[in-house]
Structure 1
């Protein structure tokens, strides 16, 4: 099936190395379910009408995904594996790549999928569980509209018992995204949501604030902007820095320059994410309950 015939695609960003997690968390199976979080998302997206999936992976997990995960996915899905390689950058910056050990970030990961996406697409990360209804929300959005979209999750529902969390807090006006501000060390303190602003001021976050958990609905027009932005990023940062090229920053830039409107939908199900291995068991239990409750 040719890519142009797909009404809606899914891009799963699974190329990160999971350094804090201590291994490739993208392929860690959920106890009791016999599959990964990524597979749950793919099945949920398939139920919402997705017919093509592009998995952006690192080379280290390719064999495992081909042998274990792909056979468990719906046979009707077109699944494409794309490796996010450090040397996949414009030729004039080839020298920089030789000194880089870490992947270039989510903006570059999505760029690796460019040649396969010719229609609207949902973009997610492999290690987050978003809930089946989130895929349906964006699927419905693209049946009626051509602008981009995102699903935001109530921040109060994304806190961790392990301690403070960092979240991109959505600034919203008329149900459209105006920007995302990164707050650090967000915790519930005596019934108030508190977090540190980018300038280090501890302040209250609105009880109904939404967090951007990397659930985007995009169209192919994003890729040209991503390419331009990546070249600018490489020009600006030499190989000595470990800086990453982030997708949300590029989307925000396009919102600010009035080149793109991003509709915001509120998640109807909980988000579950795994940052540390110690959280995997607890998340596994919650997901098992959700799917078999």
Structure 2
């Protein structure tokens, strides 16, 4: 087995329901590649030598035929399918009742057998900026703690309406808590969002948002495995619930006193939720690469 110092895990198994298709393989106009390929190139430039793509079966053929040949030479690429029946044997009956993937926590857990070193974890349809990969690569040269790059929330809002974001609570450059706020948008010169209790609340203008850009070590997979078993036992009658990655990071911080170092992004984040956003985002990425 080839040894790697730093891996990249790309979570590309979602079904893109709100987008209306497989947005992981939507190409950027003028660049002839996907957002995921830009991120992989940035990661390789930062020192990543292994890429684990967690995909759904529907896109496997296109990724193998179109995207893999375009990736940088010399890297070790592994394709892992996030399958609904990838659950412990005692929960197979539960899997038969489900029609959509189990969520981002399960997606990362699917990569467990292939990641034996520090890894950066991203989602396929978000662009994080080359400098963010360098921040996390540098982190692992000096520290063994987990880490995250947070983005100024003011830079992650949409002109097309409210967005949902995990708002970070930070102390001494460590992540203390991530609180999910819904329908965040500008209102009367302030940033407002619905807190977990459903109350409209002001969000600090300098708050950092979690955009699913993590740095982990293999110990995290043990947390994910134990948490997934607990999740399946608890939600055995709620097969539509999802097992979210940020929740498991939070659980590790709370119960295991796990340290998660937080860094502030130096570049803008770009993401696509709805197909109507694709043209605007691809235009910005084209400018970024050819500006």
The TM tier, using the shorter chain, reads over 0.9
Q: Which moved more, 1:97-106 or 1:237-246?
A: 237-246
Q: CA RMSD in A?
A: 0.8
| Structure 1 residue 227 corresponds to structure 2 residue 225 | yes
| Structure 1 residue 136 corresponds to structure 2 residue 130 | no
Distance 2:252 2:238 in 1: 28
Count of matched residue pairs? 291
Alignment match, 2:144:
146
Distance 2:21 2:134 in 1: 31
Q: 151, 155, 158: which is aligned to 2:156?
A: 158
Q: Deviation digits for residues 25-78 of structure 1, max 9, x if unmatched?
A: 000000011000000000000000000000000000000000000000011110
Q: 48, 51, 64: which is aligned to 2:49?
A: 51
Alignment match, 2:38:
40
* Displacement after TM superposition at 1:238 (Å): 1.9
* Displacement after TM superposition at 1:239 (Å): 5.0
Runs of 5+ in structure 1 lacking a partner?
none
Distance 1:8 1:31 in 2: 30
Alignment match, 1:101:
99
Alignment match, 1:170:
168
Distance 2:188 2:257 in 1: 41
Q: Deviation digits for residues 119-177 of structure 1, max 9, x if unmatched?
A: 00000000000000000000000000000000000000001011011100001000000
Q: 198, 202, 217: which is aligned to 1:200?
A: 198
Alignment match, 1:17:
15
Distance 2:161 2:238 in 1: 31
Distance 2:45 2:53 in 1: 18
Runs of 4+ in structure 1 deviating by more than 3 angstroms, as ranges, are none
* Displacement after TM superposition at 1:244 (Å): 0.3
* Displacement after TM superposition at 1:95 (Å): 0.8
* Displacement after TM superposition at 1:187 (Å): 0.8
Distance 2:62 2:250 in 1: 35
Q: 73, 76, 88: which is aligned to 1:75?
A: 73
* Displacement after TM superposition at 1:241 (Å): 3.1
* Displacement after TM superposition at 1:259 (Å): 3.3
Runs of 5+ in structure 2 lacking a partner?
none
